[in-house]
Chains A and B, each alone.
Chain A
Amino acid sequence: MNWPLEAFLSFLAAGAFGVVFNAPRRTLVSCGLVGMSGWLIYRMYFLAFEDSVQATFAGAFAVALVAHILAKKFKMPMIVFSIAGIIPLVPGSKAYNAMRNIVENNYLEAIAFAADALMVSGAIAMGLVFAEVLMQMVFKRQAKRTQKKIGMTRS
């Protein structure tokens, strides 16, 4: 496993997707970083536990978490950062293999691949949602804390 190379390539790919989706120019590097963190966590988890569904969940969770933090920092919608980062996790090769097997009349194998692709897409969705709920809770707590602080200084 060549970690620096993978990091560089995923950074480049996510940044390129930022250009394709026309992300604001000054966020392109951040888009690349989001994609890189998602992909590296996905790969690390996959190499450690050999489970692509869980690995995708971890990757998507990381992408959404980083995207939320960057969105707060740049004061931009979270979608600007998350889209480019999610793309590398999309189960393109599984969907492709499923279709290829259907064309070659290997329906049993095709179903296995298709089910796997479905599970991975579900994992992406769950990762996004979990991160969103978590960040909402954190931000609400922060807001309450600052409110309390302001109230205390005022009184």
Chain B
Amino acid sequence: MNQVNETGSEQARALDCFLLAGKIMMESGAETYRIEDTMIRMAASQKMVDCHCFITPTGIMFSPSAEMATRFVRISNRSTDLEKVALVNAASRKLVSGELTLRQTYEELQLIDQTNYKFPIQIQVLAAAMASGCFLILLGGGWEDLPFAFIIGGTAFYIVDMILEKTRVKFFAEFIGALVIGSAASLVIYAGFGQDLDTIIIGSVMPLVPGLLITNAVRDLMAGHFVSGLSKGAEAFLTAFAIGAGIALVLSF
């Protein structure tokens, strides 16, 4: 990329810029049609009118015109970071409105790509624990179960995050997380502290539910992006299946 910046033409840098924007958005969990829209708009603002892009959850192809070569970026890991999506969106808006030049936009995108905007892990765990507790009450659980859902939900979220960082295998991490939730909840019930096994498990599992994937899959399918819609749907289904298997394993004893 550095070489291109030094020697390449303006158009090559423009392509780098569009692809980086698409890559960040896909890695942060944006919808496919939103990414395509952003890239095409950015390209149109740089007078590339008849460009095409094809976006899947694992790679982005972008063809600027008949004369120029098609470029491709590979996307290896995806997580959820809505702040990055919003920031790239803002940067592309600025480029289109002429507030930023191409070079400035590219620099800003590189900055966005390298910065970690996530909340510290302690706060994330606390939020997950809070969500678990709230869902326990919303789904009809008793107040006496609240501390268990709070602790189990937070712990499971932390464990999934740790395993994900170490192994990079999402389904395994979710499976282990569900397993921990199931065993901890059963333990609490057998020890005589908890009242209702079902609501404790459901409440604690909620932070692991692939809600983003499900909504994205549906919206992509409806927008006509069948390849990414189906693959995101498969990812959501596998995640749900991993959670279900982890809980089922505990319940079958």
Contact = CB atoms under 8 A, between A and B. Distances in A.
| Contact-residue bracket for chain B | 35 or more
From B117, B139, B214, residue with most partner A Cβ within 10 Å? B214
Interface of A: 5-6, 9-10, 12-13, 16-25, 27, 39, 75-77, 79-80, 82-83, 86-88, 90, 92-93, 95-97, 99-100, 102-104, 121, 124-125, 128-129, 132
Contact of B80 (A9, A21, A25, A102): A21
B45 interface: no
A12 B130 contact: yes
A107 to B, nearest CB: 14
A103 B211 contact: no
Contacts of B34: 77, 79
B83 A92 contact: no
A77 B212 contact: no
Interface string B214-253: 1110110010000000000000000010001001100110
Contacts of B135: 13, 88, 92
Given A9-B134, A129-B222, A90 B209 contact: yes
Given A16-B131, A103-B248, A129 B218 contact: yes
Interface stretch (B5-13, B68-76, B120-128): B120-128
Contacts of A92: 135, 139, 202, 205-206, 209
Provide the main secondary structure of the chain A interface. helix
Nearest to B123: A19
Nearest to B80: A21
B131 A10 contact: no
B44 interface: no
Given A9-B138, A20-B157, A79-B29, 13 more contacts: A17-B207, A21-B82, A22-B80, A22-B84, A24-B86, A76-B89, A77-B86, A79-B30, A80-B82, A96-B205, A102-B248, A103-B252, A124-B218
